[in-house]
Amino acid sequence: MSASDKPALLGGPPVNDRPLPSYNTIGQEEKRAVMEVLDTGVLSGFVAAPIPEFHGGPKVRELEAAFCRKFGAKHAVAVNSATSGLYGMLMAMDVGPGDEVVVPPYTMHATASMVLQTGAVPVFADIEDETFGLDPVSVEANLTPYTKGILAVNLFGHPARLEALKDLADQRGLFLLEDNAQAPGALVEGRYTGTVGRAGVFSLNRHKTIQCGEGGVVITDDERVAAKMELVRNHGEAVVADLGITDIANTMGQNLRLGEMEAAVGICQLEKLDGLNAARVRLADRLTEGLADVPGLSPPLTRPNCSHVYYFYVMRYDASITGLSRDLFARAVTAEGYYLRSGYLRPLHLEPLFRQKICFGPGGFPFTANHRNQDLVYGPGLCPTCERLQDEEIVLTNLIYPPLTEADMDGFVAAVKKVLAAASDLRSMNGAAT
C-alpha cells in the first residue's frame, strides 16, 4: 500500500484536508428585508385582541400569502417553529386525552412529543425500508377504536407513501397530517408534499433548506383548521367571546407567534427554494453516479412519480459485503475529510419518555388517560425495520448543499472507495474487530 492509499485513520493523508464551506443561504436580499423591518421599529405585529393585528404584522401575512401561492394552498399560518406548527395542527384536529395518533419512530422527537402535548398518546408504526416513511401496512395494523389520525413524516427529503396513507385515513374516517420539515418542494404524483394531508408543516429552522433562524408555516385548504390554528398561535381564549366562537374546545392559545424580521427573511428564502433544491439534486445525483458500483453501499432511492429534495443523502450499508463494520466505515470516511454519520436518531419508542411512560408529572399523564394504557408498551422489537436500519444499515451525510461542487462529491466518492479498499488494514487497526 502506497502512502497515499493509506487511510487517514491509519495515518495516511486524507482525501480532503481543507475545511468544507458551511451552508449559508443568507444574502443581501435578507439583509435589506431585515433593515426595512428595523426601520419601522415594529418587530412584531401581533396583538392578542379581536382586531386585525390578531393575525400578525404585514410581513407575517406576506409570508403566509407567499406560501399559499407557492404550494397552491388556500390558507397558511406562520408560527415560531415547526414544532409549534405540529402542536397547532394537532390541536386543530381536536386531538385530546384518550386519543391516539399514529406516528413513525424515525423522526425528530417533536413529531411524537407534540402528540403528548395535546394530552393524547402517539402509537408508533414501523417504517418501510426504501425511503423510510410510515409503512401503510404497519399503520393499519396499529389502528384502534381510539385512533384519531395519522401524522406522516416526509423524511430526508423524500415523500412518505402519502397516497396510500391518505386512502387509509379516508377509509377509516381519520385525518392525515404531514410533517414536511425535511422535504419542502418535493413532489408526489404531481402534488407538493405538505398538501396531500389535511394540513402540512414546513420548517424554517436554521438547519433546514430554507431558514429564518427559527420559524415554521402550516398550510391547509381547510378554513376551520387555519382559524383554529390562529387561536392556538395567539392566546385564543382571550378572543373567542368577542369573535362569537362557541366551540371553544382546543382554542386555549399560547404565544407561538413569528416576528416580523423572521418573516421578512422567510419571504426571501422561499423565493430561493427551487434553486436551492435544484443544487442539492444535482450534487446528490453526482454522488449516486459515483457510488453506483460500490458493493455493499446502496444510494438513496426515489420512488416512481416522486421527487427527492435531499435534506440528507442517506445510504444503506451492508457490512457483510464490505467486510468492514458500519461504525468503523463511517469513522474512516469522516477522517478522510468528508462527514459521514452512522445511523440517524435513536427510534423514539426506545427513549425513556416512552419506555417509562412518564411525561406530565410522575403519575404518567397522558398515558394514564389512554383507554388501553396497560397494554400500550414501548420498547425493543416494536418497530423492527426501523430498529434494524438504525442499528445496522443506515449511513448518511449532509454534504449535498451549495456552495459544495461536483468536485467535492467526487472527493467523497474517492474517500469511500479508498476506505473500502483498505478494509482489511482498518479491521486490524489496533486489533480492532469493529
Q: What is the pLDDT of residue 1?
A: 61
CA-to-CA distance for 338 and 331, rounded, in angstroms? 10
Q: Other CB atoms closer than 10 Å to residue 375's CB: what's the count?
A: 8
For residue 405, count CB atoms less than 10 angstroms from its CB and return exposed for 0-12, middle for 13-18, buried for 19 or more: middle
Q: What is the pLDDT of residue 2?
A: 74
DSSP letter for each residue of 371-419: TTGGG---STTSSHHHHHIIIIIEEEE----TT--HHHHHHHHHHHHHH
Among 3.40.640.10, 1.10.1740.10, 3.30.470.10, 3.40.50.300, name the CATH number for the domain at 28-270. 3.40.640.10
pLDDT digits (tens, 9 = 90+) for 183-239: 999 999 999 999 999 999 999 999 999 999 999 999 999 999 999 999 999 999 999
CA-to-CA distance for 355 and 298, rounded, in angstroms? 33
Q: What is the pLDDT of residue 434?
A: 45
| Domain ranges within the chain, ordered by starting residue | 28-270
CA-to-CA distance for 102 and 149, rounded, in angstroms? 6
pLDDT digits (tens, 9 = 90+) for 17-49: 999 999 999 999 999 999 999 999 999 999 999
Residues 6 or more apart whose CB falls under 8 angstroms from that of 252 comprise: 232, 236, 237
Q: With a cut of 80, say whether residue 4 has pLDDT above it.
A: no
Q: Which residue has the cell 459485503?
A: 321
Q: Which residue has the cell 387561536?
A: 231
Mean predicted lDDT score pLDDT of the chain: 96
Q: What is the pLDDT of residue 433?
A: 43
Q: Which residue has the cell 402519502?
A: 162
CA-to-CA distance for 391 and 386, rounded, in angstroms? 9
pLDDT digits (tens, 9 = 90+) for 263-310: 999 999 999 999 999 999 999 999 999 999 999 999 999 999 999 999
pLDDT confidence of 430, banded at 50, 70, 90? low
Taking a C-beta distance cutoff of 8 angstroms, is the pair 213, 30 a contact? no
How far is residue 375 CA from its own chain's centroid?
29
Give the helix/strand (H/E) hosting 199.
strand 199-203
Taking a C-beta distance cutoff of 8 angstroms, is the pair 15, 415 a contact? yes
pTM beyond 0.85, yes or no: yes
Taking a C-beta distance cutoff of 8 angstroms, is the pair 50, 239 a contact? yes
Taking a C-beta distance cutoff of 8 angstroms, is the pair 207, 312 a contact? no
pLDDT digits (tens, 9 = 90+) for 65-80: 999 999 999 999 999 9
Residues 6 or more apart whose CB falls under 8 angstroms from that of 329 comprise: 317, 319, 322, 340, 342, 395, 419, 420
